[in-house]
Copies of this chain bind each other. A is one copy, B any other.
Amino acid sequence: MVVVIVRIGELAARTGASVRSLRYYEEQGLLTAERDPAGRRRYAESAVARVALIRRGFSASLSSRVIADLLPLLEAECLPRLRALLDAERERLEAQIDAMTQARVRLDEVIAIATDPTWTCDT
Please tell me the number of chain A residues within 8 Å of chain B, measured between CB atoms.
39
Chain B neighbourhood of A100, CB < 8 A: 61, 93, 96-97, 100
Q: Majority SS of interface residues in chain A?
A: helix
Proximity string of chain A (79-99) to chain B, C-beta cutoff 8 Å, 1 when within and 0 when not: 100110011011001101100
Show 8 residue pairs from A and B whose CB-CB distance is below 8 angstroms, ordered by the A residue: A46-B122, A49-B122, A59-B103, A60-B106, A60-B110, A61-B104, A61-B107, A79-B114
Q: Report the nearest B residue to A56, measured CB to CB.
A: B110
* A75 CB within 8 Å of chain B: yes
Residues of B within 8 A of A70 (CB): 114
Inter-subunit contact B107/A103 (CB<8 Å) = no
**Which of B77, B106, B122 has a CB less than 8 Å from the CB of A56?**
B106
Provide the bound-state CA to CA distance between A7 and B79, in Å: 58
Question: A101 within 8 Å of B by Cβ?
Answer: yes
